[in-house]
Every structure is written in C-alpha cells, then in structure tokens.
Amino acid sequence: MTMTSAQRSLAERIRTSIADEPIQREVSMFGGRSFMVNEKMIVSAGKDGSLLVRIAAEDHDRLLLEQPGAEQAEMGTGRTMGPGWITVAADHLVDEASLALWLSFALDYNRAPK
C-alpha cells in the first residue's frame, strides 16, 4: 500500500509514540496503516491523516462529546462502525499531546482484561 504524505507523517509519529510497547506490528487494514499491540489493533492512520481509534465501548459516547475532532467511525460512506470505534480528524492531531491522548485511550482499552 502506498501511503500519502499525511499518512506517512502520522504513522511515523505513532511508531515513535509506541516504540516501548512490547509486542507490536503494522498491517494494512481499514483503508489505512494499522498499528497492532499485543496482536490487537489500537489505531489506524488514514490516508488523509485522520486517526481511527479502538477504545472501550463504554467510553464511546463520552469521548465523542468531550473531544474535539472526534466522530463516529464509518466503514465506507454511511456505514457506521459500532461503539468503540472513533475517527479523529487530522486537524485535531497537530501536536504530540493530542496524539498521545488518543493513543492512551487506545492502549488503555488494549491492556484491559477482556
């Protein structure tokens, strides 16, 4: 998969941020570059520089309301993904603190006992 410059930039920032995670890998899925920790997806860098984030379903509605740039994730136009899947617009990921916040939500969910 050829990445756009926005996607490449975001992917590099994600790699740097999760470098200390014990088991990680990257795969192409959901139309983006997805990052796996402990064999479960945490985030995916979209072609437009947006971020698909996997979070706890019980945090879904609260984060949509509280976090700027957060939207219900869609798998294709008009096909919403279920609770626990949020897309964050690229213009709300411009600094490291905003990316770190979303990565922390995803990693917290990833580490939670299932």
Domain interval for residue 82: 5-111
CATH code, domain carrying 20: 3.30.1460.30
Angle at CA 78, nearest 5°, toward 63 and 43? Answer: 45
For the chain, give the mean pLDDT: 93
* pLDDT class of 31 with cuts at 50, 70, 90: confident
Instruction: Name the packing angle between helices 96-111 and 5-17 (round to 10°).
Output: 60
* pLDDT class of 114 with cuts at 50, 70, 90: low
Q: What pLDDT, on the 0 to 100 scale, is given for residue 88? A: 98
Tell me the Ramachandran region of residue 26: left when phi exceeds 0, alpha when psi lies from -120 to 50, beta otherwise: beta
Cα dihedral sign for 40, 6, 103, 89? negative
Q: What is the pLDDT of residues 70-106, one digit of tens each?
A: 999 998 788 899 899 999 999 999 999 999 999 999 9
Question: Is pTM beyond 0.85 here?
Answer: yes
In the chain, the number of structural domains is: 1
* pLDDT class of 1 with cuts at 50, 70, 90: low
- What distance in Å separates the CA atoms of residue 13 and residue 80, rounded to the nearest whole number? 27
